[in-house]
Amino acid sequence: MISQISDLFLVLIIVMAASVVMRGRAPRYLTILFSGVILVFLSFNDLTLTNFNYGTLSILSLTFQLNFVSSVLLILISIIGIFIPLRYKSTPGFFILLQFLFLSLIGLFTVRDFIVFYIFWEMVLIPSFFVIGIWGGKSKNYAAMKFFIYTHIGSVFMLLAIFTMFFAEGASNFSMSTLISGISTISLPYQAFVIFGFLFAFLIKLPTVPLHSWMPDAYVEAPTEGTVFISSLLSKMGAFGLLVIFSPIFMASSLAGSTLVPIALMALGIFSLIYSALVALYQKDLKRMMSYTSIGHMSFITIAVGGFLYLNGSNPLASQLLYYGAVFQLISHGIIIAMIFSLVDTLEKATGTRHIPSLGGLARKLPGLSFLILAAFLASVAIPGFSGFVGEISILLGSYAVLKFYLIFVLIGVVLTASYHVFALQRTIFGPYNEFLGNISARKEELLVAILPLALIFVLGIYPALIFHIFDIHAIQFLGGIHP
């Protein structure tokens, strides 16, 4: 029975080792096994109960801990880990890199030591860089280097922030709970630098405008299977950092009473939402347009964290709506964006182009694909009944306690987001058919696999308690597990 995090790591390492020595389809099937192991691990840790004090596992004085935020993200990893091998028949090397990515992310989401957290943070760069650089498009080298440089610069500031806490506090280890609880004892300039270092690293990975420019290039140039895991999983690193690490650091610091950082976060989130929607409206490449969708979705996380820190416990209901809505948004966005990019890939294979003006009337020739694209876009704009609605409406309701009439700017961003989705639908699947496309068809097996994420989107939209029951009502007091 897999009941300890150490057992999970051991099984996943064995699966990776088997994938390295095997050829053909074996690494692809082992990736599905890899993801199934994660689900087994979660099921044996009583995921159905509202008790998330699973305890800790100490290995060589390192602490690993599963909390409700990491539990949701491990569920997302397992979903994506099943979807990608079912949808794509890539090379064995790709699936080995994908398994390495999953192992790195699991370590990142469960470790409770800052130095090991930083190591896992950097390890995630390796598979992502090589997937873009090896299997990417014409500008793959440029996109891979840009992705690496942006992320690594943020990592350097985070490492400096970690060492600042360690040496300024005179700590004996890099335990997250120890360093976070002692941050208020160091001088105010050091506290400010620590807050800036972590925030800078997490906003790059999220990403938030103006630290976002690596994302469109990486998404467009990566092979579609690479785009799926980068868009659905990597941005969750920044969100996890904001929710589980940055928020406790800020609230334990002497700056907790200041509203400057929370207001700045909310302003950045609103600006990112509106900016990404306006830029998306001018895109001609459907894949690049959808990359800005990801920025828009993740901007709700920035707004939620800013609002949560601004309230600082003064309004428990609004705080819970913001925090829990943000966590729900993580799994919802991951599934929706994976479905969108896979359908864009199917569309490109069927028509030979992603150029929006060259498309049109696809519903006449590809009704099945058109239906799935329509459903994915409706989920992306957060129509009620889809999972995207649950997270966004929770954040909007919670934000009202902070933003009041300024919430109108968020709603403007929501309307603009819906506008470019409608624009894309009108130019691609509706209207007269573009006869220059000739006789086109989509592969049925690709459409069948797309039903998996669509079913999950519907189920979570109609019955969000499947995720919300994970959130212990008391867990918000220590923000998902980082506590003394």
Q: How confident is the model at residue 483, as a pLDDT?
A: 42
Q: How confident is the model at residue 49, as a pLDDT?
A: 38
Average pLDDT per block of 10 residues along the chain, 484 residues long: 66 79 80 86 57 44 76 92 90 88 90 91 91 88 91 93 92 87 91 94 91 89 90 91 93 88 94 94 92 92 94 87 92 94 92 89 90 94 92 93 91 93 91 84 89 94 85 48 41
Cα–Cα distance, 53 to 65 (Å, whole number): 9
In this structure, are residues 177 and 483 in contact, taking their beta carbons and an 8 Å threshold?
yes
Q: How confident is the model at residue 170, as a pLDDT?
A: 86
Q: How confident is the model at residue 238, as a pLDDT?
A: 93
Cα–Cα distance, 323 to 307 (Å, whole number): 9
Reading the block at residue 476, the tokens are 């918000």
Q: Which alpha helices (H) appear in 381-406, and where do they start and end?
A: 387-403
Contacts 24+ apart (CB under 8 A), 257-260: 257/312, 259/310
Helix (H) or strand (E) holding 177: helix 176-181
In this structure, are residues 44 and 62 in contact, taking their beta carbons and an 8 Å threshold?
no
The residues, ordered by sequence, that sit 6+ positions from 197 with a Cβ below 8 Å of its Cβ are 157, 158, 160, 161, 162, 164
58 three-state secondary structure: strand
By CB atoms closer than 10 A (0-12, 13-18, 19+), residue 340 is: buried
Q: How confident is the model at residue 61, as a pLDDT?
A: 54
59 three-state secondary structure: strand
Q: How confident is the model at residue 50, as a pLDDT?
A: 37
Spell out the domain ranges in the chain. Answer: 5-481
Reading the block at residue 358, the tokens are 């060259």
Give 166's DSSP letter: H
Measured in Å, how far apart are the chain's first and last C-alpha atoms?
A: 30
- pTM of the full predicted structure? 0.91
Q: How confident is the model at residue 293, as a pLDDT?
A: 92
